[in-house]
């Protein structure tokens, strides 16, 4: 991917957690996102490779690029005409008269109760079953150690004309794989950092919330390992190798590997 030059008027910030807010710009069907705290671009790209070699087909593919001399990544806009992404957070506010979903979730004692509340709320409001969506995304987060999964990057896609909804793709994995050098400095072995990464949004324990939702991720380990041989060395890659080894008893092998695809346009022009 070549150099990307942005116009300051295209820069925007998308609502999320303090960790997840990165300078972003949109142009001609593509989102461009600059690194802020470390190597978010590498984490997004490696997460895409994992998903490419999984049972999951509904995800956003990210590739690395340089934006105004700053490392970053680019992805295709996943919304069709007349569609909007409606986060769980915003949906809850609309239905509950501004009541914060985070505040409601804290009133439940267990991870199971919190997940059940989300499932029941989504079904009551939209007649939408988010069980598979949560099982896949929380399993992926457990593998990638993504501490930035919150109710603003979990959601559904709404057709603005019909009101019908469809499942949103998995996106926003930039905080995974210890990409944040501010919180996980490189002078400390990454194995030590791994012991202190906290999950969101249903439990601080990645395995607990993934297993409670149901392990929905399967991996073509052989295909993924072969693909990773062509990736440049980085700490993110080391963390991914470590996690693949330690999670293999939890995340099963994909019996019939799918044909990989790349969901980005290699002819993207500078903006």
Q: What confidence tens digit (pLDDT) does each residue in 205-228 have?
A: 999 999 999 999 999 999 999 999
Q: Give CATH 1.10.1070.20 domain extents, the chain.
A: 83-246
Please state which of the four CATH numbers 3.30.200, 2.60.40, 1.10.3470, 3.30.70 is assigned to the domain occupying 3-76. Answer: 3.30.200
Q: Write out pLDDT tens, residues 116-149.
A: 999 999 999 999 999 999 999 999 999 999 999 9
SS (H, E, C) 66-112: EECCEEEEEEECCCCCCEEEEEHHHHHHHHCCCCCHHHHHCCCCCHH
User: Rounded distance, CA 32 to CA 262, Å?
Assistant: 17
Predicted confidence band of residue 89 (pLDDT cuts 50, 70, 90):
very high
Mean pLDDT of 165-186: 97
Contact 136, 168 (CB under 8 A): no
Q: Give CATH 3.30.200 domain extents, the chain.
A: 3-76
Backbone conformation region of residue 79, classed left if phi is above 0, alpha if psi is from -120 to 50, else beta: beta
* Paired tokens of 266: 């290699």
E strand spans, the chain = 3-4, 11-12, 24-27, 30-34, 62-67, 70-76, 83-87, 155-159, 165-167
Q: Write out pLDDT tens, residues 74-83.
A: 999 999 999 9
Please state which of the four CATH numbers 3.40.50.11540, 3.40.50.720, 1.10.1070.20, 1.10.1040.10 is assigned to the domain occupying 83-246. Answer: 1.10.1070.20
What is the pTM (predicted TM-score) of this model? 0.89
């Amino acid at each position: 991917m070549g150099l990307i030059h942005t116009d300051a008027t295209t820069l925007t910030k998308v609502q999320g957690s303090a960790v997840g807010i990165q300078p972003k710009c949109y142009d001609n069907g593509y989102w461009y996102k600059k690194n802020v705290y470390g190597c978010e671009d590498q984490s997004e790209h490696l997460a895409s490779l994992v998903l490419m070699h999984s049972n999951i087909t509904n995800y956003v593919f990210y590739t690395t690029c340089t934006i105004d001399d700053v490392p970053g990544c680019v992805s295709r806009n996943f919304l069709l005409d007349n569609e909007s992404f409606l986060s769980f957070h915003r949906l809850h506010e609309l239905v509950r008269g501004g009541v914060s979903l985070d505040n409601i979730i804290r009133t439940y004692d267990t991870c199971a109760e919190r997940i059940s509340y989300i499932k029941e709320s989504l079904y009551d409001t939209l007649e939408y079953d988010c069980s598979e969506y949560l099982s896949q995304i929380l399993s992926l987060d457990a593998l990638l150690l993504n501490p930035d999964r919150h109710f603003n990057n979990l959601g559904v896609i709404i057709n603005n004309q019909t009101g019908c909804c469809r499942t949103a793709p998995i996106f926003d994995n930039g905080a995974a794989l210890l990409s944040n050098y501010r919180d996980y400095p490189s002078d400390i072995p990454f194995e030590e950092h791994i012991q202190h990464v906290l999950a969101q949004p249903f439990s601080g324990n990645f395995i607990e919330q993934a297993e409670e939702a149901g392990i929905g991720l399967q991996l073509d380990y052989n295909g993924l390992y072969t693909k990773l041989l062509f990736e440049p060395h980085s700490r993110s890659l080391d963390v991914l190798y470590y996690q693949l080894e330690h999670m293999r008893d939890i995340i099963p092998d994909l019996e019939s590997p799918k044909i990989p695809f790349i969901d980005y346009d290699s002819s993207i022009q500078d903006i």
